[in-house]
Chains A and B, each alone.
Chain A
């Protein structure tokens, strides 16, 4: 005898309606989010208006916008932001150029393409701290491999205040170009082949074809890569922290870390964290607006 399958009555027989199953899946996530994300977010917003120090037992006094006012008029903080901006521009630009270039090279039939792609993705899969430690060894002026190979004697990569930021950015480029490459590769392979044939028939040269067909079609996915990388570079901490102690590489997250856990200015650091958050949101919003415009075109 064949009995018709009735899933709803089965579920009901176990005392579970569709809604309760849905809740079963959603509630743990919501609880987790509230406890570990939403609550600290709001709680720290409260702290950012006080002079609270986590290292003492003194009660937190409400100080209004004092923290924000002082931070935004502090030239040292602005210097940290300038360093961060420089770092973001150099590293994201480098990643886009190298990543997109590699993707262009890989976007054809070559032997062992899969293997080469996988190998190129390896840097991205390593831990930031490990990469930092390794590159510190590579950059070492006396016995680092880089100086040995390039025959640069005792060139100071991380010791030189001007060079250090570029050295950190270079490591970041090495590590994250594969990410841009991966997204670009997806974008490039989605460009229909017949468009290139049509362009060849229309007697378009390689540059014309690249700027008129390839780039406009890959632009949206490239923009997504840029958004991700900018956000990450803006809040970069581990790589810069492990690699260098120079003031010239003190990006805003390092300043924030020092303020919060070395100087124990908890209230003030919460305020700074909020300023950073608002800035990242603002930049991302500009990007997303631009992305939508690119997509619309």
Chain B
């Protein structure tokens, strides 16, 4: 178990900058999810902690010790990769035994067997132990690869998109399993993903990475409800937050190019929002609702039926916004509807910098 700290980390490959001034603090026993798009620098961060890459600048601390000179073996981390990295030609059991067998720290045979069996039981792969790894399905391979990580009792688990190569059903199942496993082991997990649903559902804490910088760190709840800037707002959530240009006039939100108004009551939270300042109004689709007497008229542009709910794309002028409505709501495409928003849930962003006014103040 360990506490991981990254201080002012920068990493460049040739003239490509992967990470700039990255600070990260992962508490002992925490499930930390690093969320970002492809190429944001997530994997690089992981490899820096694992000791597979050296930072161009900055320091990595494990339990308060600067590990700059430590190799991957000394750092005692476990790494689960998207491509599984199982050792070919070996059986599942041999793969699980691999990290326990190097001569220097070889464990007694009974202990090895015990640990392998326990890991296999936890991951429900006992029936596969004598099978060759090339005869496994994707989900089984990923379980083995996780198993190889847990037999060792490492100080920290690093997982690089371990679920992205799996099909949806399996991904969902393993998501729950991984989270349970983490709670059971009480271990520190750093989980890297580009899938915001994984981040939201698994993380104790989420760090959003964009272009090699941490944009926001917080609990999933904070990230979702109080995004630091428009990037986080549009990246997290499915469908993403609606972002509409406008300004405040006499306590009402006036959408500038579109000419519609909505009531705004978040004055206390609005920070430095003054009348006339160019803003971006952010509203989650579930806080947009349809009502016959609502102030704004729109046309239904598209309907996506998700079973428990419908996601409507509403068209006002030539802009669209999303609204999540109960599945029983009866709407047809091109139907005229009236909508309003929940004024308490509106997040204001500065038009120029994209930073939320709540975070700026």
Tell me the A residues contacting B by CB distance below 8 Å: 192, 194-195, 197-205, 207-208, 212-213, 216-217, 297
Contacts and interface: CB of A to CB of B under 8 A. Distances in A.
B103 A202 contact: no
Contacts, number: 61
Contacts of A195: 85, 87-88
Interface stretch (B33-41, B68-76, B188-196, B213-221): B68-76
A297 B89 contact: yes
Most buried by B among A192, A199, A201, A217: A201
Given A198-B85, A213-B87, A208 B52 contact: no
B98 A202 contact: yes
User: Chain A: interface secondary structure?
Assistant: helix
A217 B99 contact: no
A240 to B, nearest CB: 39
A208 B52 CA distance: 19
B83 interface: yes
Contact of A202 (B51, B104, B148): B148
A200 B71 contact: yes
B103 A203 contact: no
B102 A194 contact: no
Nearest to A203: B73
Given A197-B85, A201-B77, 11 more contacts: A195-B85, A201-B72, A201-B73, A201-B79, A202-B152, A203-B72, A203-B99, A203-B105, A204-B98, A204-B99, A297-B89
B89 A216 contact: yes
16 contacts: A195-B87, A195-B88, A197-B85, A198-B81, A201-B73, A201-B77, A202-B98, A202-B152, A203-B152, A204-B99, A205-B102, A205-B104, A207-B103, A212-B87, A216-B88, A217-B88
A256 B53 CA distance: 61
Nearest to A201: B79
B98 A194 contact: no
A212 B98 CA distance: 9
Nearest to B83: A194
Contacts of B105: 203
Contacts of B323: none
B50 A201 contact: yes
Contact of B102 (A198, A204, A216): A204
B279 interface: no
Contacts of A197: 52, 72, 79, 85
Nearest to A195: B85
Nearest to B74: A203
Nearest to A197: B52
Contacts of A201: 50, 52, 72-73, 77-79
A133 B99 CA distance: 53
A203 B154 CA distance: 11
A276 B119 CA distance: 56
A212 B86 CA distance: 12
Contact size range, B: 20 to 34
Interface in B61-114: 71-73, 76-79, 81, 83, 85, 87-89, 98-99, 101-105
Interface string B98-136: 110111110000000000000000000000000000000
Contacts of A203: 72-73, 76, 99, 102, 105, 152
Contact of B52 (A200, A212, A297): A200
Nearest to B158: A201
B103 A208 contact: yes
Contacts of B83: 194
B139 to A, nearest CB: 19
Contacts of B81: 194, 198
B150 to A, nearest CB: 12
A199 to B, nearest CB: 8
A199 B86 CA distance: 10
Contacts of A216: 88-89
B187 to A, nearest CB: 15
A212 B97 CA distance: 12
Contacts of A198: 79, 81, 85, 87
B94 to A, nearest CB: 9
Interface in B24-57: 50-52
B99 A202 contact: yes
A213 B86 CA distance: 11
A3 to B, nearest CB: 47
Contacts of B79: 197-198, 201
A212 B99 CA distance: 11
B160 to A, nearest CB: 10
Contacts of B89: 216-217, 297
A252 to B, nearest CB: 37
B102 A208 contact: yes
A256 B235 CA distance: 79
B164 to A, nearest CB: 15
Most buried by B among A204, A207, A217: A204
A195 B52 CA distance: 12
Nearest to A296: B89
Nearest to B47: A197
Contact of B73 (A192, A200, A212, A297): A200
Contacts of B77: 201
A205 to B, nearest CB: 6
B85 A194 contact: yes
Nearest to B73: A203
| 5 tightest A-B CB contacts, nearest first | A202-B99, A198-B85, A203-B73, A200-B72, A201-B79
B72 to A, nearest CB: 4
Contacts of B71: 200
A208 B152 CA distance: 17
Contacts of A213: 87
Nearest to B145: A198
Nearest to B88: A217
A195 B79 CA distance: 12
Contacts of B98: 199, 202, 204, 212
